[in-house]
Structure 1
Amino acid sequence: MPQITEPSLAYAQQKDREDKLQGFRSRFVFPKREGGEMIYFCGNSLGLQPVSAEESIRQELIDWRELAIEGYWKARNPWMTYPQTLRGPLARIAGCLEEEVTVMNALTVNLHLLLLTFYRPTPQRYKIIMEAGAFPSDQYAMETQVKWHGFDPKDAVIEVAPRKGESLIREEDLMAAIEREKGSLALVLFGGLNYYTGQVFDMATITAATHRAGAVAGFDLAHAVGNVPLALHDWGVDFAVWCSYKYLNGGPGAAGGAFIHQRHVQDKTLVRLGGWWGNDSTSRFQMDHQSLSSGQATGGGLGGFIPKPTAEGWSMSTAQVFNMACLRASLAIFEEAGIERLVAKSRELTGYLASLLESLEDGAFRVITPAEPESRGAQLSLHFGAAGRGKIIQQQLMDEGVVTDYREPGVVRVAPAPLYNSFEDVYRFCHILRQLL
């Protein structure tokens, strides 16, 4: 979008009138202050509550009250197959087949569970490449995984960092690291979108380079899913995990998501931790399993785990129905809006924000998020150089009724989500920020 040299409220309101997705704003509940709605630019930390979420939870309470155990089969949304009802919308958001995606657990739990399958280090191949400045949970997961396998994180975990004086990771530096370590590389684990800078990584290129090196490609999509275009199946990604409470609006603690490529879900020989929910549904309740020690049939003995030939084969425990109900409500809205239309609006909305901010910077801050629309999502990271200045600005914005968030060191993250944010929100935010500066 060209720079708006004379921003006006009338222009923003006209853009909202032209926006065919503007009606979805009323489907969400905004926090209020002094009787008025706050400007909410924090969907990259916690998405807003869909209005329909309350009814979605109420329905499960009704079915539990009236059906009890029969709710597993007779509820309006039968609990036994509840996660499967979410696969279609998620597959369209993630760009994959329905059999490749499931909802279970939480992000870091899923990351550890899938690493048990996809990080199988040997004395020769044991190294992991990840982004420097990844979200701490990913850093902790990689550190403890390599320790679990008896390796030293200082040797086994390689972090690719921005060059000195730069904020973004250069693709050529990542490619060089993969090429350099290809003889000892077991896994490349990157965020699809860096939480701090908002940089989107070229997941297709990363995956191809990783496979050429003979390693596994995995991604943490916490800040990418529901935000940027994804084509996990076509890119050949081995696995990915994400949370559902950011752009997917599943609510605090919502069940996370997992993707496992078709070539892996159909391979029943892959090592994984088994549980009754991941077992083939046709034999789940059969009690004539063979004992591993005696080879004889026993009631509930060992040796009978047959994983489902889908991503659900990595599930372990009963579906968290109440923890999925809000996500179900939000995904219905995604289906109606369409991820392609949302991405298109997001690029226009974020471009408008970038244009207005350009006239405000004047040395007070700098936008460290990539300028290219395809290299960012619905987030711009404003870096305030002065010590403590960013944190002060973030609190002042909150006092003025604008919700953003602050991340050390010195960054205020501004995330205009296309499902519920408007051009007028962007205009008002920039007007308030101008006054504060």
Structure 2
Amino acid sequence: MDTLTFQNTLEFARQLDAEDPLASYRNEFHFPQVNGKDVIYFTGNSLGLQPKRTKQFVDEVMDDWKNLAVEGHFYADKPWWDYHERLADGLSKVVGAKPEEISVMNTLTVNLHLLMVSFYRPTEKRYKILCEEKAFPSDQYMLQSQARFHGFNPDDAIIEVKKRKGEHSWRTEDVVNAIQENGEEIALVLIGGLNYYNGQVFDMKAITEVGKSVGAMVGWDLAHAVGNVKLELHDWGADFAAWCSYKYMNSGPGNASGIFIHENHLGKQDIPRFEGWWGTKKETRFLMLPQFDPIETADAWQLSNPPILSLAPYLASLELFEEVGMDQLIQKREKIVSYLEFVLHEIDKEVESTFEIITPEDRGCQLSVFLHGEGRELFDYLMKNGVITDWREPNVIRLAPTPFYCSFEDMYRFGQILKQGILKN
């Protein structure tokens, strides 16, 4: 639908909801309440809502633990020793991979460190890491510590691609040029596929291609991209990727991380890797052999037996993704984000404040908005009136209308509350 046909009315928003094929999935999630009403939830980019079916999956594990104890590893309906394998097929469809290229283990930064053991192999000449300016702090700390661990000064070893002066997003040509200009020195390109602050989706295909062309390894932090945007990791030829599962994947706070390792790196005995017994072949795992015998899939990077109580919510959420599919989620995402953008512009016309959307057209389901002339008081007003959003200093709010559970009526009502908050202040 062309934004020119949008209307900032409750009736029109309800019409869009009536036409939405995913509208019923809103009832699949638990909503916090403020003032006795479901909140307008804009922070799925930080922590997704809990699917109602999650409890059933967790209770099943708890019952198996109660009734079977250690025998649950092999005799539960979903035996624990291969529980993680049930996530691979669903995740492969979400990230555009083959199931054997997927595993689930640990948490995001832990996994990125482990993957860098394999894919950041600096030499005296080729030792630099290219990333985006002001990457998510955990990534910055990780890259700095990896450089120091290998004996390099982070100020020299890390190349940060900056935004142009006065611009709020990166230009693909600047990333490409930086890779090409430093190609002989770059060992690794590692970028957040969707920037947490401005909501920009990088051209992962183009950046991966140019990174590989200069002989670098290419990896992606997909924390804000997985379950949100179209990914084709296998076809793009990325060497590796990792993501958390608690944002758009709705698996619960601090939950397990997924990894992708391209099939070109699978089945190799001699690849540098930190190893543990859950990465050994299932056929020999319990023989307690003295030598590591790697599984010929991404599971070879697993160290320890997986946390089943953490994987159960992840499996519950993946069932929802399996039912809906990424194509439908992306279709609704594009429409609901466009409607939110329209509502913001309409409210902007009615108040003296000026909204500046700093998220470019290459985006997922997040709009980052400068509220010029407004301060923290407006954010506090929104929260007290049932709008759960995210504040970033000095005056940016991040709005993520997740397609699984956000409605078009939410977008309209948010606009009205935002207007009231501005006029009140």
Give the TM-score, by structure 1 length: 0.94
CA distance in 1, matches of 2:85, 2:289: 27
On the 8 A contact 1:15/1:423 being kept in 2, the answer is yes
CA distance in 2, matches of 1:155, 1:272: 26
Give, as a single letter, the amino acid of the residue that structure 2 aligns with 1:276: W
CA distance in 1, matches of 2:26, 2:191: 32
Partner of 1:110: 111
Partner of 2:294: 307
On the 8 A contact 1:391/1:412 being kept in 2, the answer is no
On the 8 A contact 1:4/1:355 being kept in 2, the answer is no
Partner of 2:408: 423
On the 8 A contact 1:250/1:326 being kept in 2, the answer is yes
Is residue 207 from structure 1 mapped to residue 208 from structure 2 by the alignment?
yes
CA distance in 2, matches of 1:320, 1:409: 39
Partner of 2:44: 43
Q: 1:370-415: CA deviations, max 9, x gaps?
A: 1x2xx100100011344xx343322211011100011234210000
Identify the range of structure 1 (242-251 vs 377-386) with the bigger mean alpha-carbon deviation. 377-386
Give, as a single letter, the amino acid of the residue that structure 1 aligns with 2:308: V
Instruction: Identify unmatched segments of 5+ residues in structure 1.
Output: 290-303
Q: CA deviation at 1:134?
A: 1.0
The verdict on how the C-alpha distance between 1:390 and 1:175 changes in structure 2, with shifts beyond 3 A counting, is: farther
Q: Specify the SS of the correspondent of 1:431.
A: helix
Q: CA deviation at 1:266?
A: 2.6
Q: Specify the SS of the correspondent of 1:50.
A: coil
1:323 aligned to which of 291, 302, 310: 310
Q: 1:232-261: CA deviations, max 9, x gaps?
A: 000001000100000000000110110000
Partner of 1:366: 356
Give, as a single letter, the amino acid of the residue that structure 1 aligns with 2:383: M
On the 8 A contact 1:228/1:377 being kept in 2, the answer is yes
Q: Specify the SS of the correspondent of 2:190.
A: strand
Give, as a single letter, the amino acid of the residue that structure 1 aligns with 2:321: F
Q: Specify the SS of the correspondent of 1:361.
A: helix
CA distance in 2, matches of 1:38, 1:234: 39
Give, as a single letter, the amino acid of the residue that structure 2 aligns with 1:28: F
Partner of 2:365: 378
Partner of 1:399: 384
On the 8 A contact 1:390/1:412 being kept in 2, the answer is no
On the 8 A contact 2:35/2:386 being kept in 1, the answer is no
Instruction: Identify unmatched segments of 5+ residues in structure 2.
Output: none
Q: 1:1-42: CA deviations, max 9, x gaps?
A: 324574111111011011111111000000011221111111
Q: 1:139-175: CA deviations, max 9, x gaps?
A: 0000000000000000000111111111101111111
Alpha carbon RMSD of aligned pairs, Å?
Answer: 1.2
Give, as a single letter, the amino acid of the residue that structure 2 aligns with 1:404: T
Q: CA deviation at 1:288?
A: 4.7
Partner of 2:228: 227
Q: Specify the SS of the correspondent of 1:359.
A: helix
Q: 1:353-381: CA deviations, max 9, x gaps?
A: 111112233552200001x2xx1001000
Q: Specify the SS of the correspondent of 1:258.
A: strand
Q: 1:189-232: CA deviations, max 9, x gaps?
A: 11110000000001000000001110011000000000000000
On the 8 A contact 2:273/2:301 being kept in 1, the answer is yes
Give, as a single letter, the amino acid of the residue that structure 1 aligns with 2:355: F
Q: Specify the SS of the correspondent of 2:284.
A: coil
CA distance in 1, matches of 2:391, 2:5: 27
Counting matched residue pairs gives: 418
Aligned 1:171-186 pairs, distance under 5 A: 171-186=172-187
CA distance in 2, matches of 1:287, 1:36: 56
CA distance in 2, matches of 1:191, 1:346: 20
Give, as a single letter, the amino acid of the residue that structure 2 aligns with 1:156: A
How much identity, in percent, do the aligned residues show? 49
Partner of 2:58: 57
Q: Specify the SS of the correspondent of 1:360.
A: helix
Q: Specify the SS of the correspondent of 1:130.
A: strand
Is residue 345 from structure 1 mapped to residue 345 from structure 2 by the alignment?
no
CA distance in 1, matches of 2:403, 2:371: 26
Give the TM-score, by structure 2 length: 0.96
CA distance in 2, matches of 1:144, 1:391: 34
Q: Specify the SS of the correspondent of 1:29.
A: coil
Give, as a single letter, the amino acid of the residue that structure 2 aligns with 1:84: E
Aligned 1:253-332 pairs, distance under 5 A: 253-289=254-290, 304-332=291-319
CA distance in 2, matches of 1:384, 1:81: 49
Partner of 2:25: 24
CA distance in 1, matches of 2:333, 2:393: 25
